[in-house]
Structure 1
Amino acid sequence: MGSSGGLAYAASAYVLWGLLPLFFLALVPAGPIEVVAWRIVFSLVFCLALLTVTRSWSRLGAVLRDGRTMAVMVVASLLIFVNWQTYVLGALTGHVVDAALGYFINPIFTVVIGVVLLRERLRRAQWLAVGIALVAVVVLAVGYGDIPWIALILATSFSLYGYIKKRVGGSVDALSGLTIESFSLIPLAIVGLVIVSLTTGVTFGAAGPWHVLLIVLSGVITAVPLLFFAAASRRLPLVTMGLVQFLAPVLQFIVGVVVQQEAMPVERWIGFALVWFALVVLVLDLVMATRASRSPGAVSR
């Protein structure tokens, strides 16, 4: 399967991620803490089943024996926990547009992480995109009357997660990685379920069979897009992946504005317009830089 298959995998992954808010809304009356706890538990169950079906236990074992890689994976699991918890909180409390904003500005945060942690030098267009994004955050803060913390936490946690996962390189496949991350988070899932049981009460098993089925399927909903993403990343160039990734926040934005009818005052539209402009600048710069590097006269620096 070539690039066309890779595009199908990428589109499928980002469409599923973009429609996640609708899935989480279907899990009501379960709250954010319970949803994330069950998501961790059933992600692990699904991963263990996949490891058995695909006979991939040996690959998982190789990762488990690498202490350094395991330490990195534990840090990655904590970051993805923060990301999941914030995302579900946004979806269930009427802040889907904020979540979409987080994933719109994620590529810009990734550029900033490259400067801070990797000491990378930015091109002028990249600096321009970062500057526009900062102005957008200020405008949105004025429009919200507060800092858009859900968006900023999502962008920061996922950017750092991507950076840390990149450190382990090709030594950890998608299925082994998600298995380790889910297993590492089981203690937090247990604590979350205990807290819920002592406060509002656990809804699993008390809200009907369809609700139970949907919660069980949260593991599949978590794992499948990640596996699609891994398959796409092996088949598509970085520029294509960078363009397709915007499917997810676009769909999230539509869900927030059209389905949940979240408020969009003028200030928020201006802020989003600035973010979209920054992304256009960033993408055009990436495309031109990629073409220049592939040209016959390109010289390595």
Structure 2
Amino acid sequence: MTDSQRALPAPGILYALLAYGSWGLLPLYWKLFGNTPAVQVLSHRIVWSAVFLIAVLVIQRRMDEFGKLWRSPRLLVTLLTSATLLSCNWGIYIYGVNAERVVETSLGYFINPLFSVLLGCVFLGERLNRWQIFAVVLAAMGVANFIIDLGQVPWIAFALAVSFGLYGLLRKIAAVQPMAGLAIETLLITPIALGFILYWQAAGTGQFGNSLPLTLLFIGCGVITSMPLLWFNNAAKRLPLTTLGFMQYMAPTLQLLLGVFLFQEPFTRTHLISFSLIWIALAVYSTNAFLKTRRSP
């Protein structure tokens, strides 16, 4: 192995830190919108993300990828479905942050990897070994403890895990380039989002243009949505999947820390037990995945 090959992971680690770090700190951005309705923030996020992603594809001269996808009706149907799931995920996350339930949103993204394992087992015929089964059972115990002790279903966490897990499943089946695929997804639902924005503006309830800071925040939704994806794509090209798998927990960990220490959300004994079970489950699952990769030729 040459020195240049050894140095290759360094930028990959940096890109991964930027991607997962920015995703983990997103609650700080959504909090800036104050009492702005989540659906209005979501609509602007969709529209400005579409604008930004198309601009990136034009600059990178990758519109041919975009054109090929646009000419495939079957892929368009799949991407429209995945776009709906992604929009639900984005909207629920924004709502959860501004409803002061950041801790619960972090729970959803901790559960998500293990939910994705179950989806792979059910829909893709993937088999779980005994350690993976153990991890899933531990996570289920953590969620059950939350429901039994607090007497409520963490619906935001469930909705985030399910919507993003199903989104990932569809994107795996579709097998399209991440950047072009996301551009198509956002563009497919942009007419609906734009229609809502124009209606709110005409009715006088739209907040776009009310103040320069808020307007810039709306436009910035496209940047803060798309840049982490660009960083993630660069990280994925340079790092092993197992390394990315370990680092993905950085985002919900940061969200949890923000919720508890900055936003002063409650973190009770029940939260501690539930999160501990899920953290152990993730440690078991990630270690097992790492060892399987090391044993592979």
TM over 0.5: yes
1:75 aligned partner = 81
Q: Structure 2: how far apart are the matches of 1:188 and 1:273?
A: 41
Kindly provide the amino acid, as one letter, of the partner of residue 285 in structure 2: L
2:182 aligned partner = 178
| Pairing 1:41-56 to 2, within 5 Å after superposition | 41-56=47-62
**TM-score normalized by the length of structure 2:** 0.93
**Cα displacement (A) at 1:124:** 0.3
**Contact between 2:20 and 2:248, CA under 8 Å: does it hold in 1?**
yes
Q: Structure 2: how far apart are the matches of 1:150 and 1:195?
A: 28
Match of 1:204 among 201, 208, 211: 208
Q: Structure 1: how far apart are the matches of 2:212 and 2:198?
A: 22
Kindly provide the amino acid, as one letter, of the partner of residue 186 in structure 2: S
**Cα displacement (A) at 1:195:** 7.0
**Contact between 2:201 and 2:208, CA under 8 Å: does it hold in 1?**
no
Q: 1:81-126 deviations in whole A, cap 9, x for unaligned?
A: 1110110010110111111001111110011101111122110000
Q: Which runs of 4+ in 1 moved over 3 A?
A: 190-200
1:38 aligned partner = 44
Kindly provide the amino acid, as one letter, of the partner of residue 35 in structure 1: V
Match of 1:233 among 233, 236, 260: 236
Q: 1:210-238 deviations in whole A, cap 9, x for unaligned?
A: 11111101101011111111121122111
**Cα displacement (A) at 1:3:** 1.8
2:135 aligned partner = 129
Which runs of 5 or more structure 2 residues have no equivalent in the other structure? 1-6
**Contact between 2:208 and 2:214, CA under 8 Å: does it hold in 1?**
yes
Q: Structure 1: how far apart are the matches of 2:60 and 2:290?
A: 37
Residue 166 of structure 1 pairs with residue 169 of structure 2: no
Gap change, CA 1:89 and 1:143, over 3 Å in 2: farther
Gap change, CA 1:200 and 1:287, over 3 Å in 2: farther
Kindly provide the amino acid, as one letter, of the partner of residue 145 in structure 2: V
Kindly provide the amino acid, as one letter, of the partner of residue 293 in structure 2: T
Gap change, CA 1:144 and 1:189, over 3 Å in 2: farther
Q: 1:123-167 deviations in whole A, cap 9, x for unaligned?
A: 000000111111111111134321101111111111111111112
1:292 aligned partner = 295
Between Structure 1 and Structure 2, how many residues are aligned?
Answer: 291
Match of 1:251 among 254, 257, 262: 254
Kindly provide the amino acid, as one letter, of the partner of residue 152 in structure 1: F
Gap change, CA 1:144 and 1:193, over 3 Å in 2: farther
**Cα displacement (A) at 1:194:** 6.2
1:275 aligned partner = 278
Q: Structure 1: how far apart are the matches of 2:196 and 2:277?
A: 38
1:298 aligned partner = none
2:3 aligned partner = none
Kindly provide the amino acid, as one letter, of the partner of residue 178 in structure 1: L
1:21 aligned partner = 27
**TM-score normalized by the length of structure 1:** 0.92
1:11 aligned partner = 17
Which runs of 5 or more structure 1 residues have no equivalent in the other structure? 295-301
Taking only the aligned residue pairs, the percentage that are identical comes to 38
